[in-house]
Amino acid sequence: MRSRYFSRSVRFLKSVTIAALAAAALPAWAQYPSKPIHVVVTYLAGGSADTLARIVAPKLAEAWGQPVIVENRAGAAGNLGADLVAKAPPDGYTLMFTPPSPLGINWLLYKQMPFDPRTAFTPVSVLGAMPNILIVGPRVVAKDTGEFIAYANAHPGKLNYGSQGVGSTPHLTGAMLALAAGIDIVHVPYKGFPPILTDLMGSRLDFAFLDSSNVLPRLKEGRVRALAVASEKRFFALPDTPTLAEAGFPTMVSLTWMSFAGPAGMPAEIARKWHEELQKIVKMPDVQARFANLGFEAWASSPEEMRQQMENEMVHWGDVIKRTGARSD
């Protein structure tokens, strides 16, 4: 009896040892994730990036059995949070969720950058995008884009507009409109969306280009108004609001895309795992419903598609910066 028990114990210990050795021999990504993941949002809490990240994070945590912690690190048009991620270990446990500024625009504007976006990050996935909308506060009486342009021409240098920082797509969209319409407007940079909305509603700011997830609830309240959408066709969430192209500005197309990226050197297998899981999440009915309420169109691109998107954005916004003369100071 003792001999048989001893033999079974030996066999059990051997199997455990073999299993442990096999697990140890696997690359780290094969066991990913085995601890909490941190997602750095590069803008303030309450903004679109933050809202979207907090919709996705619990779904990732549920699928992977590990906490996915969202942290806000705002400042310098997303550079502060992006730099933190760029300097993090490339093990897949620190990623960022961000609009395009730190990934494809800021390096074209700022004289000094803490990182080179072309080499500092591993593209993971463009989660989706939403259009920028021309929003006016109570201080502007214009009912449409034509009246708005006329009002701006009658008050040169008096109209101010806010954005989430120098290099943000709303900042550059305003610069595009100023060039296309020949109007003199003043840019006021903020660290994120919430204070822009507060100042718009409080008549301390005249207008802004804001993405749909930020502004749709406020439009329903009537405290701000939408004059036009910077998209190729009418926006599904605002079907009665014309595009800027309809108002005579066919080149005025501006989308804010939101994406996940990790530090350079992060294993491609981990990026692929994120992409595959995000593809599942964006197809979930409850997630689709929440995205639709925000006016967010999601598709969860592959890492390769995201890299191409980054390159395309660098070309597009580089041209805008050159034509408008936009600068960081």
- Residues 82 and 217 placed together within one structural domain of the fold: no
Give the span between the Cα atoms of 155 and 157, in whole angstroms. 6
Q: Which of 194, 229, 264 is the last residue of a domain?
A: 229
Q: Which of 211, 229, 247 is the last residue of a domain?
A: 229
- Residues 71 and 139 placed together within one structural domain of the fold: no
Strands 37-41 and 94-98: parallel
Residue 62 inside a domain? The answer is yes
For the chain, 329 residues long, give each residue's pLDDT as a single digit of tens: 545 544 555 454 555 455 445 444 566 658 999 999 999 999 999 889 999 999 999 999 999 999 999 999 998 889 999 999 999 999 999 999 999 999 999 999 988 999 999 999 999 999 999 999 999 999 999 999 999 999 999 999 999 999 988 888 999 999 999 999 999 999 999 988 889 999 999 999 999 999 988 788 889 888 899 999 999 999 999 999 999 999 999 999 999 999 999 999 999 999 999 999 999 999 999 999 999 999 999 999 999 999 999 999 999 999 999 988 887 76
The residue segments making up the domain with residue 193 are 131-229
- Residues 320 and 175 placed together within one structural domain of the fold: no
3-state secondary structure of 305: helix
Please state the separation of Cα 155 from the chain's center in Å: 34
- Residues 142 and 290 placed together within one structural domain of the fold: no
Q: Which of 229, 245, 276 is the last residue of a domain?
A: 229
- Residues 281 and 145 placed together within one structural domain of the fold: no
DSSP 250-272: TT---EEEEEEEEETT--HHHHH
**Which of 128, 129, 125, 127 is closest to 304 using CA atoms?**
125
- Residues 147 and 284 placed together within one structural domain of the fold: no
- Residues 225 and 158 placed together within one structural domain of the fold: yes
Residue 245 inside a domain? The answer is no
Peptide bond just before 33 cis, omega within 30 deg: yes
- Residues 167 and 205 placed together within one structural domain of the fold: yes
3-state secondary structure of 38: strand
- Residues 271 and 218 placed together within one structural domain of the fold: no
Greatest distance between any 2 Cα atoms in the chain: 101
Q: How far is CA 173 from CA 31, 86, 170, 313, in A?
A: 43, 27, 5, 13
CATH label of the domain that carries residue 165: 3.40.190.10
- Residues 117 and 42 placed together within one structural domain of the fold: yes
3-state secondary structure of 95: strand
> Is 266:108 a contact under the CB 8 Å cutoff?
no
Domain tally, the chain: 2
Residue 282 inside a domain? The answer is yes
Amino acid occupying residue 48: S
- Residues 139 and 187 placed together within one structural domain of the fold: yes
- Residues 171 and 150 placed together within one structural domain of the fold: yes
CATH label of the domain that carries residue 107: 3.40.190.150
